[in-house]
Amino acid sequence: MEHLNSEKKHDIEHLLNNFGKVQSNDRQEIIYGISDNSGGLISKFNDYFIDRSKIKVKDKAYFFHLMAVMLDAGLALIETLKILSRRTTNERFSRILNTIAYHVEHGMTLSKAMSYFPEVFTDAETGIIKSGEAIGHLDKMLFKLSEQTERSYDLTLKIKTALVYPVLVFISLLAAGAVLMFVVIPKLIAIFESSKAQLPLSTRIFVGISDFLINFWWAISILAVLAYIFFRVYENTTTGKLKIDYFKLKLPIVGDLVKKLLIAKFVNMLEIMVSAGMSITKILEITASAMGNEVYRLMILQIKNKVEQGEKISDNMAIAPFLFPEEVSQMIRIGEQSASLDRSANKLAKHFETEAEHSVKRLTAAFEPIVIILIAVVVGLVAMAILGPIFSLTEVL
């Protein structure tokens, strides 16, 4: 970076520090397929976990942004890749970037080198970068890609943050129920039996459930594992995946949120790939495979087939209002008519991302009173079934 002016160099250094500090020299430079780790058994064991570690979406978004900034500043692509590989704290990502830099240095295009890692870089991302290379504006495409990836990450983070409270409450209730059934009630059974008093129905129900769980926990565990295996197998079948994904879309409240997220994902990808100059049929093909929902995948592939026959995207969206609301097909139609499909898609993306955020807030707001009521009911039942007989025995004694 020596040839850059001091201002640009300072800005890039600041961004790089946010991405990660320069890693120690004892980190072995590994290039997949070229120079693997030559260490012993422990190193091989460590490699197994490194090569299967997850690369965060945030890290990838920042990588795209840094690449764009550094290329725009005049740095060579190979130098940029090598600098970023030394900066990232994720060792697997470092190895991937080293491998990409090696292939680029030996004459391969960036998009081709990235395509060797489909579990990290999606078809859409490599396609966008390929288009940027073709038109000579790789930095601009990387800026767009980083912005889209960052927006997607922020939305996902907001949803996960909103789900923390209900998940913690659910886990706490399960833990409290387990302690009650496996520890508290068994200790109280002896007291109840020695008193020879007639226990109320609610108490007898709790005692029966506790006995059943203690005596048959192994059978319940086996059934739970078998049910999970059956679900996973069924989910991987064509029919099962379609029915499960359709069920997700039909769920009250949650289904509406899922649809908004999928529509936002679709129009986000549409906007960036159209602006990259990719053909509409290729865009629809890539988008369909990246949706993560079988119902939307099949519908988008059907739209692709109709587009190949000369029909419009918007006309085919309009026949599926359950998947694509009227405002989506109308905005896409406007984009098609005015040759500004990317701008229409961008407006739709921002709209549905905002709608998804509002849906999450409404879902959280609706969940809070439900949680309070649920806790009150559980506490009431426990008090009636367990504490009631205890107070009665105390009075007798």
How is residue 251 written in tokens?
A: 């769920």
Residues 73 and 161 in one domain: no
The domain spanning residue 213 has which CATH number?
1.20.81.30
Q: What's the CA dihedral at 330, 334, 339, 344 to 10 degrees?
A: -70
Residues 238 and 277 in one domain: yes
pLDDT value at residue 23: 52
pLDDT value at residue 5: 55
Residues 233 and 313 in one domain: yes
d(CA 131, CA 351): 27
d(CA 33, CA 97): 13
DSSP 295-354: HHHHHHHHHHHHHHTT--HHHHHHT-TTTS-HHHHHHHHHHHHTT-HHHHHHHHHHHHHH
Residues 254 and 158 in one domain: yes
**Residue-number span of the structural domain to which 37 is assigned:** 6-121
DSSP 148-202: HHHHHHHHHHHHHHHHHHHHHHHHHHHHHHHHIIIIIHHHHHHHHHHHTPPPPHH
Do 213 and 182 form a contact (C-beta atoms < 8 A)?
Answer: yes
Tens digits of residue pLDDT in 26-74: 555 677 766 666 566 677 777 777 778 888 888 888 888 888 888 888 8
Tell me if 129 is assigned to some domain.
Answer: no
Tell me if 134 is assigned to some domain.
Answer: no
Domain count, the chain: 2
pLDDT value at residue 225: 95
Tell me if 385 is assigned to some domain.
Answer: yes
- Helix axes of 138-179 and 57-72: crossing angle, nearest 10 degrees: 160
pLDDT value at residue 75: 85
Residues 238 and 359 in one domain: yes
Phi and psi at 82, nearest 5°, equal -70, -40
Do 13 and 66 form a contact (C-beta atoms < 8 A)?
Answer: no
Do 250 and 244 form a contact (C-beta atoms < 8 A)?
Answer: no
Per-position pLDDT tens, the chain of length 397: 555 555 555 555 665 666 555 554 555 567 776 666 656 667 777 777 777 888 888 888 888 888 888 888 888 888 888 888 888 888 888 888 989 998 999 889 999 999 899 888 888 888 888 888 887 888 888 888 888 888 888 888 888 887 787 888 888 888 888 888 888 888 777 776 666 667 777 778 888 888 888 899 899 999 999 999 999 999 889 899 999 999 999 988 788 889 999 999 899 888 888 888 888 998 898 888 888 889 999 999 999 999 999 999 999 999 989 999 999 999 999 998 988 888 898 899 888 888 888 888 887 777 778 888 888 888 888 777 777 677 666 655 5
pLDDT value at residue 331: 92
Do 91 and 53 form a contact (C-beta atoms < 8 A)?
Answer: yes
